[in-house]
């Protein structure tokens, strides 16, 4: 039985992301050109909305490419302005605090990145209904040389359903693939706090990551 070659898979993923990046650039250029040719302000505004969506997805893919390569700090640096822009449109402030010296192996980096993206999306979509503004605070820190802690806290309306929705299920499953655990709790001043803890570079963590890529 042939097992996947991690190096070959990484090259394939990088090539796919490169092609996607080129495709997004073409879409953005085409949309901008169509905006300049619009006959009405209403049509131009609708195309501007389409352009923003394309730019959002392109930025997400660019950030994930950094995470996939093990550059978690690069992921945060790339995705944070996007989160800020999305938040501003909804009256939400998004703050990120990252330990300067934190490093993660590629599998942990890409998985943690996907968890953060899912968590922030959930906050924006569900924590602040009816145009209510608020704040999302994200902290990523090393609890010691072998463990990482992520905290995503919002001051929204709080979680209902005891964390049994699709979004929480995705986050919980992703955390388990890297030997970690995700838990939710009510914030001290309202809202919801998601805590993600996972090991980094421990032998059992490496084993968990290897199983996740087989």
In this predicted structure, what is the pLDDT of residue 83? 93
In this predicted structure, what is the pLDDT of residue 193? 96
In this predicted structure, what is the pLDDT of residue 1? 45
Q: What is the pLDDT along the chain (214 residues), one digit of tens a residue?
A: 455 555 555 555 556 665 666 666 677 777 888 888 888 888 888 888 787 777 777 778 888 889 988 899 999 999 999 999 889 989 999 999 999 778 888 889 999 999 999 999 999 999 999 888 999 999 999 888 889 999 999 999 988 755 556 789 999 999 999 999 999 999 988 899 999 999 987 655 555 555 555 5
Q: Give the separation between CA 194 and CA 68, rounded to whole angstroms.
A: 23
Q: Which residues contact 8 (CB under 8 A, 6 or more apart)?
A: none
Predicted TM-score of the model (pTM) = 0.75
How many other CB atoms are there within 10 angstroms of residue 175's CB atom?
Answer: 20
In this predicted structure, what is the pLDDT of residue 68? 87
DSSP 2: P
In this predicted structure, what is the pLDDT of residue 214? 55
Contact 80, 54 (CB under 8 A): no
In this predicted structure, what is the pLDDT of residue 175? 94
């Amino acid at each position: 039985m042939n097992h996947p070659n991690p190096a070959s898979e990484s090259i394939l993923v990088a090539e796919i992301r490169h092609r996607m990046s080129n495709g997004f650039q073409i879409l953005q250029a085409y949309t901008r050109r169509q905006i300049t040719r619009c006959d009405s302000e209403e049509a131009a505004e609708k195309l501007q909305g389409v352009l923003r969506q394309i730019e959002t997805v392109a930025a997400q893919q660019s950030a994930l490419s950094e995470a996939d390569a093990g550059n978690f700090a690069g992921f945060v640096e790339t995705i944070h302005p996007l989160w800020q822009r999305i938040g501003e449109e909804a009256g939400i402030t998004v703050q990120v605090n990252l330990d300067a010296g934190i490093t993660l192996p590629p599998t942990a980096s890409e998985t943690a990145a996907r968890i953060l993206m899912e968590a922030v999306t959930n906050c924006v979509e569900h924590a602040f209904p009816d145009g209510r503004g608020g704040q999302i605070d994200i902290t990523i820190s090393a609890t010691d040389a072998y463990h990482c802690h992520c905290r995503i806290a919002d001051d929204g309306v709080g979680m209902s359903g005891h964390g049994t929705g699709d979004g929480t299920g995705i986050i919980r499953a992703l955390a388990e693939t890297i030997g970690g655990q995700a838990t939710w709790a009510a914030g001290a001043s309202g809202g919801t706090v998601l805590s993600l803890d996972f090991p980094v570079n421990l032998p059992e963590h490496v084993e968990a990551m290897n199983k996740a890529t087989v």
